A and B are shown apart, each in its own frame.
Chain A
Amino acid sequence: MLKYNDKVLMIVFAILVLTGPVILAPFGAGYPDLLQRFAIFGILAVGYNILFGLTGYLSFGHAAFLGVGSYSTVWMFKLLTMNIIPGMILAIIMSGLFALLIGFITLRRSGIYFSILTLAFAQMSYSLAYSVLTPITNGETGLQIRLADARILDPKNESGSLPSTNLFGFEMNDTWRTTFMGMDLQFNVGFYVCAVILIAAFYVSIRIFRSPFGLMLRAVKTNQNRLMYTGINTKPYTLAAFVISGMYAGLAGALLASMDPLAGAERMQWTESGSIVLMVILGGAGTLLGPVLGAGVIKYFEAIFSRINDNVLHGWFDFLPGFLETFMVWIIHPFVGKGWSLTLGAVFMIIVIFLPGGLMEGANRINKRFGKQKRGSADNAKAPAE
């Protein structure tokens, strides 16, 4: 893991992320919303990996921090300004505090007891946000901005339509579209904000991985007892990791709300936490690139597979003779469209059974087989970075 050169990795990663709209366009994923999601959930997964990948503490409560981040940000949009900076700052602070509180309590236990405690916290947050806390969260509908909101820092809005989120005047939903080799390319401001933050977040995570702090966290995972008898107080280490990953989640929540100013309670459900876990494990827990990769794969499934209907299938197999076309459509039909979660479930099983180290292990195996002479980061980055 320490073999390849971090600088090369960082540069390749940055290039891949920044050219995302071009690279992903042929896969039908080159539109702003999905690109933003890739980046945002990439941040979330990178953060979660600091906790789970390094210390091995399996938290089912990170969706709660995502939600806290989103709610804080939308409140900033409502009260202060549509500039995303104050919202992001508040989101990181709030989710950090929330993580500190929850971590302080839950980290008194380890193993599955810790998992269930975090799950309990997340479910409580979700239930309350959906019902009793409606004055703060707007319950089922989700917290949204309105024309009548105060926004004391912004000039008065006379246009009659809702203002857009912006970064010092650059509006998040501004997109520059162009056609290149028959592909529709969309370069979106919001995506680039997310992308830059993702790169920064990734850099921070590399630094943490490579630091003595990161070393201690890895030691927690392999033998917590030895660490205690070596004079290390493990609790502040795990708590710090928990809070850092909670802050990453809060930041991701803030970005979700910045790209689309709505915060829904479903964001806090345990199944959302579960899907964060799945992203990290799918990509490869404890690796640097893996979580980003896993986040991309899952979001791609959710966005693209769920939208393939029979018409699209018929389009694909149009070149086949009639009965074969029908046959192919019949075969594939259960796995796409409304069956997308079936495919996702099957993919998890296959990955876990055959590639316990996640996609990164797969990449490494391919790497070993084909390119022994070309060692290093270039190979690890072969798989699309997002």
Chain B
Amino acid sequence: MGILEVQNVNKHFGGLHALNNVNLDVIEGSVHAIIGPNGAGKSTFLNCLIGKLAPDTGSVMFQGKPVLGKKPHEINQLGISRVFQTPEIFSDLTVFENVMIPCFAHRDGSFMMNAWKKVKCETDIREQAEQMLLDVNMQDKLHMEAASLSRGDKRRLEMAMCLSQNPKLLLLDEPTAGMARADTNATIDLLKHIGETRGITKVIIEHDMHVVFSLADTISVLAQGAIIAEGLPDDIKGHPKVREAYLGEAEV
């Protein structure tokens, strides 16, 4: 029994069969990578998981509860958090405020009419957020406006935001895309660190095979909307279909 069970999910865009009978089982506590060439349907798949898109058919169960048909915020409140390909942060707010918001969401639920107490007096939330920023090494940027951060810092911030909700399942959409090698390594370390201390299940979409093979416990390969292979990293490395569809070109 996986924490996330996806069965026979289909999605059409007009004539395009974007997801074709996708099945996926994510084991609790593992890191599950999804790889595939551009346009294979990876992001579409994630969008279906978080309620941004509604699949045509199929079912998605999270911890035995159905996910489909729920609104994005309800899905998040179940414990699924997502890091986007281009960082989605609150760019007009400070770094600290950015992290406090998910802390509130985690503590107070999807809506709470907390209009009188000052944010300043919410000590537990503040401590939590400070700790989180310490964890991602951003404690010196607490009061900077998020918009003024570097690209790498924005990604780290977004990751911090997702982590501070203490999600059960973290979806990462190309967390290292466009990063320099040093930053990539730092991110890998961070993700590993999280894995060890918090035991969060992760689904990760990635092009960078270095990242995939240093993190993943299981790898699924998506091509033209269908899962063409699934297995341990070593199995996938040698899988002929995968080489043909994907790895051959990726290692250029």
Contacts and interface: CB of A to CB of B under 8 A. Distances in A.
A–B contact via C-beta, under 8 angstroms? yes
A207 B105 contact: no
A231 interface: yes
A111 interface: no
B111 A236 contact: yes
Interface in B86-105: 88-93, 97, 100-102, 104-105
Contacts of B110: 231-233
A240 B71 CA distance: 20
Given A212-B108, A213-B113, A219-B101, A229 B50 contact: yes
B106 A231 contact: yes
Contacts of A237: 111
Contact of A230 (B74, B118, B165): B165
Interface in A202-224: 207-208, 210-216, 218-219, 221-223
A99 to B, nearest CB: 15
A219 B93 contact: yes
A226 B113 contact: no
B197 interface: no
Interface string A222-248: 110111111111101100100000000
A221 B113 contact: no
B181 interface: no
A383 to B, nearest CB: 24
Nearest to A226: B88
A229 B71 contact: no
Contacts of B73: 228-234
Contacts of A233: 71, 73-74, 110-111
A221 B91 CA distance: 10
A245 B113 CA distance: 15
A219 B125 CA distance: 17
Contacts of B161: 230
Nearest to A218: B93
Contact of A231 (B90, B92, B118, B165): B165
B93 A211 contact: no
B92 A218 contact: yes
A231 B50 CA distance: 11
Interface string A309-352: 00000000000000000000000000000000000000000000
B113 A229 contact: no
Contacts of B111: 232-233, 236-237
B66 to A, nearest CB: 18
A237 B73 CA distance: 13
Given A212-B112, A213-B113, A215-B104, A229 B91 contact: no
B21 interface: no
Nearest to B78: A231
Nearest to A213: B115
A292 to B, nearest CB: 20
Q: Which of B109, B119, B161 has the most CB of A within 10 A?
A: B119
Contacts of B82: 229
Contacts of B116: 207, 211
A215 B97 contact: yes
12 contacts: A207-B116, A212-B104, A212-B112, A212-B114, A212-B119, A213-B113, A215-B101, A228-B71, A229-B73, A229-B88, A230-B73, A230-B161
Interface of A: 207-208, 210-216, 218-219, 221-223, 225-234, 236-237, 240
Given A230-B73, A233-B111, 7 more contacts: A212-B112, A215-B101, A222-B90, A228-B71, A229-B73, A231-B105, A234-B73
